Amino acid sequence: MRINRWIGASLRRKLTVTYSALFGLIILAVAGAVYLSIKINAERSVGRELNASVAVFERLWNMSAENMTARAEVLAADFGFREAVATEDIPTIASAVANVSARAEGLSAGVALPDGRFIDATGESIPLPDDMLEAMYTQDQPSGVVTYQGRYYQSVAVPIEAPVLVGWALFWSDLDAARMESLESLSAIPVRAEIRASRDWAGKDGDIHRTRGFIGASSHIENFGDGEQMSLVITYPMSAAMAPYRPMIFAILIFSAAGMALLVISGGVLARSLTRPIAALDEAVHILAAGERRPVDLTSDDEFGRLAGSFNTMLKDLESREQAIVQLSREDMETGLLNRRAMNDDIAQREDADGPGAVSVAVIRVLRYRNVRASIGHAAAARAINLLAHQIRDVTGTMPYRINAADLGLLLDSEGRFAAIESIRHIVGACSRPVSVDGSSVDLLLCGGLALPDQSAENPPIGLIDQAVFAADLAERDQVPAASFSLAAYGNPASTLSLMSEMVDATRSGGLSLVYQPKMSSRDGHICGFEALIRWYHPTRGRISPDSFIPLAEETGHIRQLTEWVVLQAIEDQKTLRRNGFDLTISVNISGRQLSDDGFALWAIGKVRSGGARLCFEITETAVISDPDKALSIIHLFRSTGISISIDDYGAGLSSLSYLKQIPAHELKIDKSFVLEIENGTTDRLMIQSTIELAHALGMLVVAEGVENDKVVGILSDMGADSLQGYHISRPLPLTEALAFLATHNPRRDIA
């Protein structure tokens, strides 16, 4: 901190340090480049030696394996030895392998019997590891490294046949320190050789790897069996590789230090010549910072003189510009109306003069303003807003503020909610008429929002203007002329955002799960499919209802992440069903947002194709209404790529025969609200019967939801419903329980 203050206190010091540091960095870069070149050259030289050592090892390894294999073949071919192994004559076997081991320097021999026992030269019987026994059964003459009791051995095995397989002749060589030292002695440089597990060594065969001050190379060693893969690793310390170059590096450091000293001295001389003219400018700037304006008296023809002249000109313009900036900060640039900042200032002035709660805020919103602006252009739309503002002034006597693109704000005297709402309705009714812009008539449809000062709330969540904007949102959503702000409608956005953040975390941490409600065929009683339903168990909030977080995900735009998780999990669970012999379609609910999202459509198609999945996307008619052309094009895309479409909750909301005809669905689901009343009235029966007949006429299957008892099953089956779904058939089940449920209802079959 003191160093920073010392440097910053003087421009001269700063220039000295800057120039010195700049040229010093250049010197260091050159020195670093030289050092790096030396290091790379040393590494390459060592790398060649290491690769040569690895090549020698590989040759020795192969020669050793061939030697042991040849000895094992001779032993396995001996008639007396084969007879001893066939009869399990342990003393004879032990004597034979002891003689062979004594003649083969550095090698040991033994016999493995088919039941997994191993006989060594002492006659002791030892159980073989399972992976070794499996390798001998599955390979003709297995060979490779064996790890036993923390030690490594090079081993080979040759089958003994008399004439059927009666055992294997095993030869092995200890890969101990002496073997590694003999390998190290073959290298031209003092390397270190060791056997390591392949997972502990990041290098690949033929690659030079650098780590922890060493440079190394490795060779993969084949395993005897399925044990952990091993590698021979040969390393050489970098300090030894760099030792011949240390005098050169020391000389570079000496010259670099001398160059730095020279640069510091020359930088100080240069800085002194530059700082004197700047002192006058520095003083003038400090005076300006204190609120005064004093011209700089500096006469010269160089850059500093011209800078002083520019500074003096700036002082003259500064005052006029400050006034213009203050004015612009309170005006909307497009319309010239006062803006949100001006409205906030005026609210504060009114409250300072008349006390808190003296003013209410109204917002008049132009509906579909984006469409208006897109149709006539930004400039014409701004003129239309200006004309609307003058109409509002004619009605209220007050010119409104423009607080955002589509919203005009008004300050109202605090009065009762009813009177204020009536005032806004009057303004909306009086001003909702066409305006003429550039000879064209532009229809302006309006709604309004009201914010009253709530003196009972010490810390309101948002200010009056934002409250009025939110109230206008409510009016636009509910298609009413005016609405007022309420805390109940506003809710707790922070809690909502927190819940959505936790939901996104749950898609990664396993907090979400799927349960599956079976669909039963009305013809044979077999289960013909499942509907996937999401569940969320929160670690602190407990079980969270889907009705609590799915609508929030829709509002906040997190529904795509949630839907993608459901699709991926359903595909994985379907694979589990198939592995257990059940190839059934899984239905997944798709939000209306996804029917206008090309990115989701392409993603879903790719996942379904790559996973070979059989999914059915359940949609509602209302999801199509907002943008029918876009939604129908995506639905056709799903259908053309093999994804089935089901119309969900038919009859619960707006049921349009026009959309029903256009949607290329293969299935229609009758909402449970009709099915639950099917026993009590003929009207519901007639509606269900006609719906089934209509769906069949359009080539769709019919699923009836909400089946609660056997009587309803019989009624719906007689009506021709293709499949049934409800708690009478089964509640939604986790995957493991769904498998058990299927085992009692469906015949299992092998799936290719």
C-alpha torsion 553→558→559→564, nearest 10? -140
The amino acid sitting at 402 is: R
SS3 track for 173-205: EECCHHHHHHHHCCCCCCCEEEEEEHHHCCCCC
Q: Are 360 and 420 in contact (CB under 8 A)?
A: yes
Backbone angles phi, psi at 299, to 5 degrees: -110, 110
Which pLDDT value is given to residue 654?
47
Which pLDDT value is given to residue 476?
86
Report how far apart, in Å, the C-alpha atoms of 379 and of each of 119, 352, 369, 404 are: 97, 37, 13, 15
Residue with tokens 């812009």: 437
Helices 735-745, 559-579: inter-axial angle, 10-degree rounding: 40
Which pLDDT value is given to residue 658?
65
Percent helix, strand, coil in the chain (nearest 5)? 55, 20, 25
Distance (Å, whole) CA 130 – CA 225: 9
Which pLDDT value is given to residue 747?
72
Backbone angles phi, psi at 510, to 5 degrees: 95, 10
Q: Which residue pairs from 277-285 have beta carbons closer than 8 angstroms and sit at least 24 positions apart in sequence?
A: 277/302, 277/304, 278/11, 278/304, 280/308, 281/307, 281/308, 281/311, 282/11, 284/311
Distance (Å, whole) CA 43 – CA 141: 40
The amino acid sitting at 628 is: P
Q: Are 506 and 546 in contact (CB under 8 A)?
A: no
Q: Which residues of the chain fall below pLDDT 50?
A: 1, 456, 654
**What is the helix (H) or strand (E) element at residue 73, kind and residue range?**
helix 11-77
